[in-house]
Amino acid sequence: MVKTSSLNNVAVAVVNGVAPFEMGIFCEVFGIDRSAMGLPTYEFAVCAMEDNPLTVGDGHYRLTLPHGPERLEEADLICLPADRDAPTRDYPEPLLESLRRAVDRGARVLSVCSGAFLLGAAGLLDDRRCTTHWMHAPALARRFPRAVVDPDVLYVDEGQVITSAGTASGIDACLHVVRQEQGAEVANTIARRMVVPPHRDGGQAQYIQRPLPRTACDTVGEVIGWMARHLEEEITVEQLAERAHMSARTFARRFLQETGTTPYQWVLRQRVLLAQELLEATDETVDAIAGRCGFGTAAALRHHFLRALDTTPNAFRRAFRGPAAA
């Protein structure tokens, strides 16, 4: 079931020096026709903000795009990939004004990595929490002192303005938008096609201080797979540590290093995500869903659902399926 959404038209704003990976993220998530799979298709355009052809990255190749700045005026979501010179670039005023107009009319803007500098230049980070790649965070804070820069998270959703950290965190931010607009089932299907995790919380750490040995990663990964298959059961750190053949303290430390979160928080988030899917796709009662997700009671599910999503299970189901569903 696909949620009725206001997200129909997506545009990517490209300048000279655009980072090809980040530009490709937007094309992969929003630009592929997956209607044969029952997924929504977006009106999608990649738009040149400067004269064609544009240089890509360090100039190893060039790109000619069929659309120009005027295409941004139609977009429900404007995507801003990183570009090579973002920390020091002076962006053209017409581009900045088009972003301000977009937000004024209710559109959303989403930046990846150094694309946040373009939002800052447009004044759209003023008094807003935001993030960028941790290497650029000090420069972003210096250049735009009114921005509330958080250098440690994967992405920040401030409603109409969404910012994400380096490279792959842009995938997380895009899937987050899809999940909000079209529901968990659609976001998870796209994630499976892209062979990426279906959800990483925006508050997770950007990077791991000490890389894990391969054997440790494999062990933790196997335990995570088991956790995902047994969400309806009681799960304790001691139980997980035993499966990993580690002490509870060692397992908790390695899990945090590998995932950026604790076992408890990981399980809790996966249970909430499973509850979202069941509320969207089934007519099961909240009590039944609470049992299937490992919350035990409807009251516990409501408590954690409200904390994670700022809404109740019944309100979420009504928003997704209409008033009659609840």
Q: Tell me if residue 298 falls in helix, strand or coil.
A: helix
| C-beta separation of 42 from 30 below 8 A | yes
Per-residue pLDDT reduced to its tens digit, 27-36: 999 999 999 9
Per-residue pLDDT reduced to its tens digit, 5-19: 689 999 999 999 999
Q: Is the per-residue pLDDT at 215 higher than 50?
A: no
| C-beta separation of 83 from 16 below 8 A | yes
For 143-154, give one letter per residue: b (16+ CB within 10 A) or e: ebeebbbbbebb
Per-residue pLDDT reduced to its tens digit, 221-264: 889 889 989 999 999 999 999 999 999 999 999 998 888 789 99
Strand ranges (E), the chain: 9-14, 43-48, 54-56, 61-63, 77-80, 108-112, 129-130, 148-149, 155-157, 161-164
Look up residue 18 and give its two tokens.
Answer: 């655009």
Amino acid 199: pLDDT: 62
CA distance 272 to 167: 26
Question: Judging by beta carbons within 10 Å of its beta carbon (0-12, 13-18, 19+), is residue 123 exposed, middle or buried?
Answer: middle
CA distance 265 to 273: 12
Amino acid 47: pLDDT: 97
Per-residue pLDDT reduced to its tens digit, 46-91: 999 999 999 999 888 999 999 999 999 999 999 999 999 999 999 9
Per-residue pLDDT reduced to its tens digit, 276-316: 889 988 899 999 999 999 999 999 999 999 888 888 999 88
